Structure 1
């Protein structure tokens, strides 16, 4: 059984997407946050997923659908950065799901972006696709190395975390966990937690909230501990520090909203990059 947190032997180019298997479940998905943004497909909107065998090569078509759409024989799903692809469609593309292991040999797609639509072109397994691309990139890297004089000081050294620096510092001071370790732990959680899985364990009392660049999902405390604990190898001090950091970040967004101010009595927050 595949696990999203297992490191793949391949470095997937940013322009391609890999078919991933949901942990402990026999279903498969692709992450399309960048492609969806370019296509104008918003998080939380309804999308249709269908295999078009008339195209050459065949394409998996993901398109926007009205919220009240009911289309017999067509998969309609809620888009949350990742989209589940029907097993039958994958088998029709020749992918053997019985032996599929995305951590060792992921299957890759190229997302063609259209208006409110993404067409996933199947490229093949990473070992076949990336051999040629890696060779091309090695040549380009050698050429770039001869032209590069100094690093770009304006280039960001790392992506921003989902929790503000002030909240990282305050939580570090309160728990004794170093800022660098806490920041890395927050990043680990926000990049490994699956948004679809959160829907299954979120609190019934509080709807998700959107910050400036974040989404906050409120989760039942016992489920939160199990989920984050898995991502952080059961380091209790680190798990508690991340919990406090997420809840601080949630309070920043909540402000004076009376409906949410007491959320910590019955829920904990998960903060994701929007």
Structure 2
């Protein structure tokens, strides 16, 4: 194969220019990408917990709850009433999220048969939630988004308050009627539910103490593939060695 000296010089000049340019950013770092935080609802051997139970998220991030056996729910609460729907405490708040009950037999390791419920974080105020099944809330099945790590309203304090709750209430259930036992998803089928949540509760020591942060939610009552917590990608490139190899072959 024959290469003219002019073509080779042009190729090497192009290589030098390309090497001086900064590398293209990975997809995970590009502006406009959405971060997905995954929270496992229930754990191996039927453990009653959220994993993790405190997510640190930025406004615009998504939080996806993935449900495991046997039958759980995710209900927004206030810090002071861990096992009570936030609407019961703040009647004017119509944007709180509730996943409905999500009965499933999918194993904890399943990746393609997981029921999910996803919300969008709209601000940095703490968002508190719990499972309204039976006595799961009192057993420690509570969680938060952006819970403070210091002060009076930490995740540990929320768990301690939940353990003292006299009831575990599902949205729509009258107080004093006892604990709930859900049997079917509220948001079933292929429909998705959504709400825009910008309301916030009272504060204690600034916005970190707010009892209800903003979120927008949507449920999927059918199985869906696991979504990654973040997306990364790479752009194919031709190494400098390849260009040098072409030039060497031409002069040989």
Q: TM-score per shorter chain, which class?
A: under 0.3
Task: Give the number of the structure whose alpha-carbon radius of gyration is greater.
Answer: 2
Q: TM-score, normalised by structure 1?
A: 0.23
Higher relative contact order (CA 8 A, sep 6+): 2
Q: TM-score, normalised by structure 2?
A: 0.24
